[in-house]
Structure 1
Amino acid sequence: MLKVAVRTDASPIIGTGHFMRCLALLEELNNQLSQLDIKLTVSFISVETTTFCEAELLEKGFNLVKLPSNSQFEMEQDSKSTEKTLELLGHQHLLIVDSYAIQDPWYSQKIKAYCDKILVIDDLANRTHSCDFLLDQTLDTDAKRYNKLVPKDCNLLTGKLYMLLRNDFLKWREKALLKRKNTTVIKELFINMGGSDTEHLNRLVIEAIYQVNQILKCPINAILVIPSNSSSLNFFEAFSEDNPWLKVITDAKNMSQLMYQADIAIGASGSSAWERCCLGLPTLAVELANNQALVLDKLSSKGAIINLGKSSLLSVENIKFAISKLIGSQTLYQSMVKNAAACCDGRGTKRALKVLNLSSVYLKVASEQDKQVLFQWQSQKVVRKYSRTNHKISFEEHCQWYEQVLKDPSRHLYIITERWADKSEVPVGMLRLDKQEQSYEVSILIDPNQHGRGLAEQTLYSIPDKFKSLKIKATVHPENQASQTLFSKAGFKRVEDDLFILEPIT
C-alpha cells in the first residue's frame, strides 16, 4: 500500500486551486497504481475545505482529516497539529504541501521523520521551504528564483512541462483543438471565476453579454459555473429564467467537457488558466488576486489570452469591448487557439510523477512463470503494429518461441519489474538482448497500459554493464516515432533510418 498525505486548504476566499492541483496529481497516481493492482491511501489534511472539495474526496475514496481552526494561522500551532495527524496516519511515502501560508520553520523534524519525501507546490517564490521537490507550474518560470529558498539538493520542477491537470483535460484536448480549428462563428461562452464567490464580477460579465446580445442577430449562449453555496445563486437563476441564453451550473464535475463545448471563455487566472490552455480555449482573463498577475502577464505576452486586468477595475464596457473584439476577428480567434494550446499539453501530472521517483525498475531474468503475461502484452495490436512479425500470434506459437529463447545461451530475456516505494513489485514489460557476432540486438516491450510513463527509458539505462562491452543495436521502424525518440534520449546514435547504436563502454 502506497501512502500519501496532503496539507492544503480550500475556501470561498482561498478558492479551490490549491486543492484541485493536488487532486489532479493524486488522481493520476491512483490511475497508475490501480492498473497495477496496488492500493493507494490518500489523506488530505486541512483546516478549511468546501462542500465541493469534500464531495470530490468522497467520490475518489480519499480521506479528509480536519485540523483545529486557526483563524490567524499560527505556524507553530499548524505544524504541531500536522505532526499529531501524521503520527496517527502512520508513515507516509510522500507528503504534499500546497499553501501560501506555510514556510520554514513549519517543516519540523517530526514531520520530516513521518515522510519519505516532501513535495511543495508553489508559484510565489517568496519564502523558504525544507523539501525534496518543489513544483512551480507557472509558464516560463525561472527555476533560479528558488535557489536560496530550498535546499541545494531539492529537485525543481518548473514551467509548462509540470502543469497539474486532471486527466480528463488530456482526453478532450485533441478533439477540442480540432473543433476550434473548424470554428467560424462564436456560439457559446463559458464563465468561471474559480472556487471563489465573485458575485459582483459575474454580474458585470453577464450584463456585458446581455448588451452584446442586444446587437447580435443570433445571441451568444453562456454557461455560468458557480459554487452551490454562492450568495448570488438565486439572482442568476432568476435572471436565466428571463434570458434563456444563460445557463447556470453549480459545482460542475464535467469542467473539461464544458470547456470543450465552449467557443470562448471568461475566467480567473488561477489553475483553471492552464485547463483552458490545454483545450485551446480563447479566454478573456481576469486577475482576482495579486498572485495571478504573473500568470496573466505570461499568457498575455504569448497571445494566449486577452488580459482584462484587475477585477476591481473592471467595467461592463471593458468586457463588452473585449467580447466584441474577439468574436469579430477570425484571425485573432485562431491565433489565440494556437497560442493557448502551445502553453499546456495536459501531460504535466505524468511528468511530475516520473520525477518524484516513487518507483524504480529493475531487470529480472525471465522464467517459465512469465510466459503468460508476455503473451498478453505481445498479443495487443499496439505492440504488434511495428513488430517484425505483425500477424496475430497463437499461444502455441508463443510457447514454442518462448522455450527456444530460454534455452538459447546467446539470448538474454528479462522481465522489466517495477518496484514501488511500499516494496510492491509488478511486471511491466520485457527486454531481450540477442548476441550477434560483435554486438547485441536489443528489443523492448512495455505493457501498453503503462505507456507514457517513461518506463522504457529507465529500462534502457538499467541494461547491465556486462552487455555494454559490445555495441548494442536497436532496429526501429521508421514510422515508430515514439521508439525513435526513446532510443535517441537513451544515448543511442541513429546511423540509418531504422537503426540505432549504443557505442561500447571502453
Structure 2
Amino acid sequence: MKIAFRADASVQIGTGHVMRCLTLAEELRRQGHQCLFVCRDHKGNLADLIGQKGFELHLLHTPDLTENLADEGSELPHADWLGVPLQLDADQTKEVLSDHNLDWLVVDHYALDARWERQFIEPVSQVMVIDDLADRDHECEVLLDQNLGRQPKDYDDRVPLGCKKLIGPQYALLRPEFSEHRSASLERRRSPELKRILISLGGIDQKNVTGQVLEALSKSILPQDTLLDVVMGRAALHLESVKKLASNIPFDTKVNVGVSDMAMRMYRADLAIGAAGGTAWERCSLGLPSILFILAENQESGAKALVDAGAAMTPEKGSALTEALSSLLDSLNKDSGLLTKMAEAGAKFTDGKGAEKVCDSFVISKECGGE
C-alpha cells in the first residue's frame, strides 16, 4: 500500500504530531508499505529529520499574503496553527498528491476537520485521522485517539457511523525499541533507587521549562552523585542557555540533542521529569515513574488520569517550582516503594506495541466498522 501523512511541526505546534506519524510510517514501511509526508514550511518544521528517516517529503509553501490570515472565520480553536486558510491548504495538498495513487491518507492536525478531509474521499481510497481533542467533526474510516480517559462515545457525533475508533493508550504510537526494552525495564523497577533522572520536556520547549527545572533541581535536596540526563530537540529554542546552565549546577548533568536511543535512556533512568504528552506513554511502557509537566491544554486530562491512577506525579499548582519539585523528590527519597507503585501502575496502560495494532487497521475496508 501507499500511504501519505499530512502533519506539521513548528515553534507553535511543537514536534509531537510529526514524531508520532514518523513512528507509524516506520512501522508501515517495516511491513512493506510505502509512505510519504506532506508538511507546511513553518519555522521549526522537521523536514531534515523526515528526510534523514528516508521518507519522501513535500513541503507546502506559505504565501506571504496569507501568513497571518489563517482561517479568520473558523470556529476551530487551533485554526491559526495551519498558517493559511483551510481551503488553500487543501488545494495545495491535492496538487501534491495528484501524482500519487494512494491507498490511505493519514491526517494529524488540530486545524483540519471534516471540511478538509472530505475533499480527499475521491482522490484517496481511505482517510485515517489522529486526534486528541474530540472537538471537531471528521470524515474518516479510522480514528485514533491514544489518550487515557477518552471513550469511543466522545466521537459518536464527530465521525461517520462506520468509522473504526481506536481509543486509548494501548494504541499509543511507540517505536519498536520500547516494547523490546519493556521486560528488562520492568524487572529493573523491582529494586528502585533514585540516582539517575531523565529530563525531557518537548522538542521545542518554547517556555524553557527545561531551564526552569534545572534551576529548581540545583537548589534541591538531591544527593551530589545524582546524574541528570537532559534530552532536547534539535529545534529547541533555549538549547544554548540550557547547556550553559547545565555546566554550572552541582550535579553531573549532560545535555543530549536529537537522540535516537530514548528507550535505552528511559530504561537506565530511575525517574523522569517530562511533558504530559505522547512521551508519557513511552515512559509508561517501560514502567518509568514520572513527574509530569503540563505544557499544553490538551495534556491536562491525560496528566490527571495518570496521576489519579498512581502512575505519575505533578508539581502542585500555585507553588514555586523549587519548593514543588523538592517536595516531590523528598517524598520519593523517603519512600522508595512509591517508585515501584508508580512503575507498576504506568506499565498497565500500554505494552509498547500500539503502532503494530494501528497498522492492522490499514487493512480494514470501508465497509468495516466498530468501536
Q: Which residue of 2 aligns with 1:192?
A: 200
Q: Contact between 2:10 and 2:44, CA under 8 Å: does it hold in 1?
A: no
- CA distance in 2 between counterparts of 1:106 and 1:235 reads 40
Structure 2 residue 204 is the aligned partner of structure 1 residue 205: no
Structure 2 residue 90 is the aligned partner of structure 1 residue 79: yes
Structure 2 residue 242 is the aligned partner of structure 1 residue 236: yes
- CA distance in 1 between counterparts of 2:264 and 2:48 reads 19
Cα displacement string for residues 448-481 of structure 1 (whole angstroms, at most 9, x for unaligned residues)? xxxxxxxxxxxxxxxxxxxxxxxxxxxxxxxxxx
Q: Which residue of 2 aligns with 1:271?
A: 278
Question: Please, which of 318, 339, 361 is the counterpart of residue 345 of structure 2?
Answer: 339
Q: Contact between 1:79 and 1:108, CA under 8 Å: does it hold in 2?
A: no
Give the letter aligned to residue 216 of structure 2. A
Cα displacement string for residues 362-385 of structure 1 (whole angstroms, at most 9, x for unaligned residues)? xxxxxxxxxxxxxxxxxxxxxxxx
Q: Taking structure 1 as the reference length, what is the TM-score of the superposition?
A: 0.65
Structure 2 residue 301 is the aligned partner of structure 1 residue 294: yes
Task: Report the secondary structure of 1:238's partner residue.
Answer: helix
Deviation of the 1:269 alpha carbon: 0.8
Give the letter aligned to residue 209 of structure 1. L
Question: Please, which of 96, 107, 132 is the counterpart of residue 97 of structure 1?
Answer: 107
- CA distance in 1 between counterparts of 2:202 and 2:222 reads 28
Relative distance call for 1:328 and 1:49 in structure 2 (3 A) is: farther
Deviation of the 1:327 alpha carbon: 2.8
Q: Contact between 2:197 and 2:270, CA under 8 Å: does it hold in 1?
A: yes
Q: Which residue of 1 aligns with 2:38?
A: 45
Cα displacement string for residues 126-179 of structure 1 (whole angstroms, at most 9, x for unaligned residues)? 100110010111124210010111111111111122111111111111111111
Q: Which residue of 2 aligns with 1:487?
A: none
Task: Report the secondary structure of 2:115's partner residue.
Answer: coil
Give the letter aligned to residue 212 of structure 2. L
Number of matched pairs: 346
- CA distance in 1 between counterparts of 2:287 and 2:24 reads 21
Structure 2 residue 231 is the aligned partner of structure 1 residue 225: yes
Give the superposed CA RMSD.
2.0
Deviation of the 1:358 alpha carbon: 6.2
- CA distance in 2 between counterparts of 1:131 and 1:201 reads 36
Give the letter aligned to residue 274 of structure 1. W
Give the letter aligned to residue 8 of structure 2. D
Question: Please, which of 248, 253, 261 is the counterpart of residue 246 of structure 1?
Answer: 253
Question: Please, which of 126, 134, 156 is the counterpart of residue 117 of structure 1?
Answer: 126
- CA distance in 1 between counterparts of 2:320 and 2:20 reads 28
Q: Which residue of 2 aligns with 1:12?
A: 11
- CA distance in 2 between counterparts of 1:55 and 1:252 reads 14
Task: Report the secondary structure of 2:133's partner residue.
Answer: coil
Structure 2 residue 148 is the aligned partner of structure 1 residue 139: yes
Q: Which residue of 1 aligns with 2:2?
A: 3
Q: Which residue of 1 aligns with 2:355?
A: 349
Give the letter aligned to residue 77 of structure 1. L
Q: Which runs of 5+ in 2 are unaligned?
A: 71-83, 366-371
Structure 2 residue 180 is the aligned partner of structure 1 residue 171: yes
Higher relative contact order (CA 8 A, sep 6+): 2
Q: Which residue of 2 aligns with 1:128?
A: 137
- CA distance in 1 between counterparts of 2:319 and 2:92 reads 40
Q: Which residue of 1 aligns with 2:74?
A: none
Cα displacement string for residues 173-195 of structure 1 (whole angstroms, at most 9, x for unaligned residues)? 11111112122x21110111112
- CA distance in 2 between counterparts of 1:171 and 1:135 reads 23
1:394-405, aligned counterparts within 5 Å? none
1:333-482, aligned counterparts within 5 Å? 333-357=339-363
Larger radius of gyration: 1
Q: Which residue of 2 aligns with 1:157?
A: 166
Structure 2 residue 60 is the aligned partner of structure 1 residue 60: no
Give the letter aligned to residue 27 of structure 2. E
Q: Which residue of 2 aligns with 1:148?
A: 157
Q: Contact between 1:11 and 1:195, CA under 8 Å: does it hold in 2?
A: no
Cα displacement string for residues 2-54 of structure 1 (whole angstroms, at most 9, x for unaligned residues)? 21100000112211111111111121111122xxxxxx332111114677833
- CA distance in 1 between counterparts of 2:179 and 2:122 reads 36
Amino-acid identity (%): 33
